Amino acid sequence: MSKRTLDAFLLPSKRCKRSSSPLLEQSSESPSTHDSYPFPISALPFNLDAHILPASKRINNLKDLDILSFTPFIQRSASHTLFEFLRNELPWYRVEYPAHNRIVKTPRFTTVFGIDDTGIFAGDGSIVENPRFYSTQILKVYKCTPRPIPSCLLRLKRYVEKATGEKFNFCLLNYYKDGDDSISYHSDDEKFLGKNPCIASLTLGESREFLMKHKGDSSVKWKTNLVSGDMIVMRGTTQARWLHSIPKRKFAGGRINITFRKAIVRGGTENYNQYNIGSGNCKVFKIMRKLIYSLSMEWKADEDAMLNVLTPEEKPLPSHIIDTVPIAVIGGSGFYSFDALTPVAKLEISTPWGSPSSPITIAKTASGTPIAFLARHGPGHTFSPSTVPYRENIAALKSLGVKIILAFSAVGSLQEEISPGDFVVPTQVIDRTKGIRPSSFFEDGLISHVSFADPFCSDVEEVIDSVRVDGLKIHSKKTLGREVTLICMEGPAFSTRAESNLYRSWGGDAINMSCLPESKLALEAEISYGMICMATDYDCWRDSEDIVTVDEVTAVMTGNVMNAMKILALLLAKCERGLTKGLGEKRKGQMKFSIATKSDFISKAAKEKIAFILPGYWS
């Protein structure tokens, strides 16, 4: 159930105050507009002139192969910034088309801009015949709706043309959102490209393996790993004699591939629009950037925040961070990575209880607040609810200085009014785990008895309860007028019908497998903990319902990803502001009064161990 969630959203708006940056020089072009665009397309907000590296190496040591390799063509750090910009600012399409009596679903997002040699865009945006081919400029009619190249891509095209000595009239882009997106072996040798076409391919974002094989002899192969900023130019007989592909790769992140090409006749324009735009709606990845700034315009983002880019791929992200990290997000089933912000560090933390279920990714908001992300079940869902290292997870977050945890979880609904796709904010929990999960930090002769009357921090609960998203039902204490009770069962199997009806008779509203001991451990670590649950099914209490399956759960989660993104965006903004007003301090110091063991009887080893989460208690 590898699902990508939380697309980038904390990039600066035009109204944000900016300062100069040593990385990229600012630019202030106006957005590109045209009737064929679904929305105005922003110009590059930075100047890439100083980050273009035109040196190339020719690769022609194999039969019929002629490639120019630029490694890199755009400096690594600048290329990652460019990746984030294009992913957020361009319209993307997941095209479906009929072929051989079936519907083919393109396994990646695509978009395309340009027009073939026979047409040009007039000053008013209309399309006329190119005077180089026709004696007069009359209106030229296409079946599709060609789109002019926006300024952000036009500038890139000029860099590529200068470096290669070639001329291009199309920018065709592929966005591989994760390792499941791919493109099979093919060649770009369509007749509308002419004989021996030249195609330049620029990689941005995640590195991916690029495979090639000879059409006449499949044993003749070539491959390379394309890293962000790299560009290869396939020319001569390469397209006519070779095939190339980007295979699937487990756990890969997002990658954009920009291909610059030249179509010489109308068929090229028709073809590229049909198979890269189609007739469906576009996907806009910048929606959360708009949302977060419309809600929090008092934030002052500077250029450094906007250009908070990934470290070059050949260098790992920093494995340490100096700042304390006040807010953490724990992702549950289907929520294995944190794409909301560009990472600034990836931490492998060792605790006295062991290592957490995943590396902890650190990112920063536009105003500079560090945010931690941890995948509860591991990046590839390798931990069952019973084997999740809950103590290690909470201890690792506490060691970073985390005060607030926003935990996400998929749940089954136990009430008719909570429909699949709705969100639930629990206030109480009933423990139906079986005692096989380590549930306390206090052991080895150090005994604590702490009140668990309120398993969720009321301050965080109130923040979550204040979130409202148009068209989305969020069931909470405020909306239901009563406590919202979550049943936490052992799993990993779902409930029997008898169990499901029993939980309903107890007043249960929803059921999951991961709230405990996570919320209890957060309490012991004095962290303010709140849970946001998404109902994916009706469990099995409904006689009319089919049994619960993982596929059904995943389908609902996938369909509601945008709502989860909206909620998290709102929560991060509210929690960040709340930190200045004492949010996250409610549980501070409460464990001092819970220790039952007399100090003289507590071993030095036990004191040192508990000091990892509660420093200073026995200093």
The conformation of residue 513, written as its DSSP 8-state character, comes to S
Per-residue pLDDT reduced to its tens digit, 521-574 = 999 999 999 999 989 889 899 876 666 566 566 556 655 666 777 788 889 989
Q: Which residues are annotated as a binding site?
A: 333, 376-377, 409-410, 513-514, 537-539
Peptide linkage before 148 cis (omega within 30 of 0)? no
Whether the per-residue pLDDT at 88 is higher than 80: the answer is yes
Per-residue pLDDT reduced to its tens digit, 395-416 = 999 999 999 999 999 899 999 9
In the numeric block, which tokens belong to residue 312? 């070059």
Cβ neighbour number for residue 400 with a 10 Å cutoff? 18
Q: 53-84 burial string, b = 16+ CB within 10 Å, else e?
A: eeebeeeeebebbbbbbbbbbbbbbbbbbbbb
| Per annotation, catalytic residue among 230, 465, 539, 546 | 539
What is the signed CA dihedral for 536, 539, 540, 545, rounded to 10 degrees? -20
pLDDT at 301: 33
In the numeric block, which tokens belong to residue 503? 């939980």
| Of 77 and 182, more confident | 182
Which conformational region is residue 226 in: left (phi greater than 0), alpha (psi within -120 to 50 degrees), or beta?
beta
In the numeric block, which tokens belong to residue 182? 């791919």
How far is residue 11's CA from residue 362's CA, in Å, rounded to a whole number? 16
Q: Which residues are annotated as a binding site for substrate?
A: 513, 537-539
Helix (H) or strand (E) holding 153: helix 151-164
Paired with 256 in beta bridges are: 175, 204
Whether the per-residue pLDDT at 42 is higher than 60: the answer is yes
**553 three-class SS:** helix
Structural domains present in the chain = 36-287 (2.60.120.590), 316-436+446-610 (3.40.50.1580)
Peptide linkage before 31 cis (omega within 30 of 0)? no
How far is residue 551's CA from residue 563's CA, in Å, rounded to a whole number? 19
Helices (H), 506-549: 518-524
How far is residue 240's CA from residue 66's CA, in Å, rounded to a whole number? 11
How far is residue 242's CA from residue 116's CA, in Å, rounded to a whole number? 24
pLDDT at 127: 92
Question: 209 with 183: CB under 8 angstroms?
Answer: no
Active-site residue, 537 included: yes
How far is residue 619's CA from residue 602's CA, in Å, rounded to a whole number? 13
Per-residue pLDDT reduced to its tens digit, 8-18 = 322 333 333 33
Query: What is the value of pTM for the model shown?
Result: 0.54
| Of 602 and 531, more confident | 531
User: Considering only CA atoms, which of 432, 505, 510, 516 is closest in space to residue 474?
Assistant: 510
Average pLDDT score over residue span 350-373? 90
Residue with tokens 């301050």: 459
Q: Which residues are annotated as a binding site for phosphate?
A: 333, 376-377, 409-410, 514
pLDDT at 123: 86
How far is residue 247's CA from residue 225's CA, in Å, rounded to a whole number? 12
What's the whole-number average pLDDT of the chain? 84
How far is residue 315's CA from residue 246's CA, in Å, rounded to a whole number? 23
pLDDT at 559: 55
Q: Helices H, strands E: what count in the chain? A: 14, 28
User: Considering only CA atoms, which of 304, 315, 539, 287 is closest in space to residue 413?
Assistant: 539
How far is residue 524's CA from residue 513's CA, in Å, rounded to a whole number? 20
Paired with 430 in beta bridges are: 487
Per-residue pLDDT reduced to its tens digit, 49-62 = 888 998 999 999 99
C-alpha distances in Å from residue 105, one per residue of 13, 282, 313: 34, 15, 31
How far is residue 61's CA from residue 76's CA, in Å, rounded to a whole number? 27
- Most distant CA pair in the chain: distance in Å? 100
The conformation of residue 606, written as its DSSP 8-state character, comes to H
First to last CA, the chain: 46
In the numeric block, which tokens belong to residue 233? 């130019």
How far is residue 207's CA from residue 161's CA, in Å, rounded to a whole number? 24
Is 497 exposed, middle or buried (CB count within 10 Å of its CB: 0-12, 13-18, 19+)? middle
Is 209 exposed, middle or buried (CB count within 10 Å of its CB: 0-12, 13-18, 19+)? middle
Distance of CA 619 to the CA centre of its chain: 42
pLDDT at 299: 29
In the numeric block, which tokens belong to residue 393? 């997870």
Whether the per-residue pLDDT at 226 is higher than 70: the answer is yes
Edge-to-edge order in the sheet of strand 231-234: 57-59, 67-70, 231-234, 199-205, 255-261, 170-176, 109-114
pLDDT at 364: 86
Q: 460-489 burial string, b = 16+ CB within 10 Å, else e?
A: bbbbbbebebeebebbbbeebeeebbbbbb
Task: State percent of the chain over pLDDT 70.
Answer: 83
Question: 78 with 262: CB under 8 angstroms?
Answer: no
Return the axis-axis angle of helices 151-164 and 76-89, rounded to nearest 10°.
Answer: 140
C-alpha distances in Å from residue 507, one per residue of 414, 485, 510, 511: 9, 7, 9, 11
Question: What count of Cα atoms within 13 Å lies in the side-chain half-sphere of residue 227?
Answer: 15
Average pLDDT score over residue span 241-246? 94
pLDDT at 312: 37
| Per annotation, catalytic residue among 509, 537, 543, 551 | 537
In the numeric block, which tokens belong to residue 27? 């630019």
pLDDT at 303: 29
Whether the per-residue pLDDT at 293 is higher than 60: the answer is no
Q: CB-based contacts of 295: which residues, under 8 Å, 6+ apart?
A: 569, 570, 573
Per-residue confidence band for 334, with pLDDT thresholds at 50, 70 and 90:
low
Whether the per-residue pLDDT at 393 is higher than 90: the answer is yes
